[in-house]
Amino acid sequence: MNNPKLPKPKSVDCGTPPKGVQAEKKGSFKMLDDLTDDVFDQLMAFNVLLPARDSLGEIYLLSSEGEPLFEEPYALVDFYCLNPDCDCCKVTLVIQDKKNRPIATIAYGWQSVSYYQQWGLDKTTASLLSEGFLDPMGPQSKKSDMFLEIVQEMVEINPHFKKWLQNRYHLFKKTVPQYGKTKLLELLRGSKT
């Protein structure tokens, strides 16, 4: 990656999940407040922008013997930043239980540490992002650490998963400019036109 064309984000907070985020229905989060902020500073779930596409998938937790620990899988919902001028190359993964409650929020970026440093993050945060970390801005639970380990392992050992995230990011970024700010705001609020 030579001389990446780096965006000039208004703030490095770009891509933190919306405050007061709450599960509304599967693959969708309703914004509770903060919509007075610029819509381009917000995150949106992939399936809210592109509902016809596949969801990211589900995680079954297995015991060491390979037996499912719980009957129900956990859903993996991927959020990306709406700023069309921002190339942050990162995803916020929210893990939801079967009642669509957020259980863990994980930020992960597939670019190099130096990419994120040039983007404006300090070295520690840049390193954390390129490994995946529990996003302090999003909902967490007692199971967060466990899901962080699972996601870190998935991006490390499964190149398809990483590639899949990158493809969804690019599709998301390509789709955003097709909507006006008003429409994006409506989608964020969960209203239907």
Instruction: Tell me: does residue 88 bind Zn ion (CB under 5 A).
Output: yes
Instruction: Tell me: does residue 86 bind Zn ion (CB under 5 A).
Output: yes
Residue 24 Cβ vs Zn ion, minimum distance, rounded to whole Å: 23
Residue 12 Cβ vs Zn ion, minimum distance, rounded to whole Å: 9
Contact letters (x/-) for Zn ion, 24-63, by CB under 5 A? ----------------------------------------
# residues near Zn ion by CB under 5 A:
5
Q: Render 162-190 in DSSP notation, one character per residue.
A: HHHHHHHHHHHHHHGGGS-HHHHHHHHHT
The pair phi, psi for residue 97, each rounded to 5°, is -85, -175
Stretch binding Zn ion (CB under 5 A), from 16-24, 82-90, 107-115, 161-169: 82-90
| Dist. CA 182–CA 193, nearest whole Å | 11
Stretch binding Zn ion (CB under 5 A), from 6-14, 111-119, 150-158, 167-175: 6-14
Residue 85 Cβ vs Zn ion, minimum distance, rounded to whole Å: 9
Residue for token digits 């930043």?
81
3-state secondary structure at position 78? strand
Residue 91 Cβ vs Zn ion, minimum distance, rounded to whole Å: 10
Interaction residues for Zn ion, span 118-157 (CB under 5 A): none
Instruction: Tell me: does residue 107 bind Zn ion (CB under 5 A).
Output: no
Instruction: Tell me: does residue 81 bind Zn ion (CB under 5 A).
Output: yes
| Dist. CA 9–CA 191, nearest whole Å | 28
C-alpha 126: how far from its chain's center? 16
Instruction: Tell me: does residue 14 bind Zn ion (CB under 5 A).
Output: yes
Residue 80 Cβ vs Zn ion, minimum distance, rounded to whole Å: 8
User: Which residue's CB is nearer to Zn ion, number 48 or number 75?
Assistant: 48
Measuring CA to CA, which residue among 125, 77, 129 is closest to residue 105?
A: 77
Q: Bridge-partner residues for 108, per DSSP?
A: 91
| Dist. CA 31–CA 12, nearest whole Å | 20
Residue 83 Cβ vs Zn ion, minimum distance, rounded to whole Å: 5
Measuring CA to CA, which residue among 114, 58, 75, 93 is closest to residue 168?
A: 93
Per CB under 5 A, residues contacting Zn ion are 14-15, 81, 86, 88
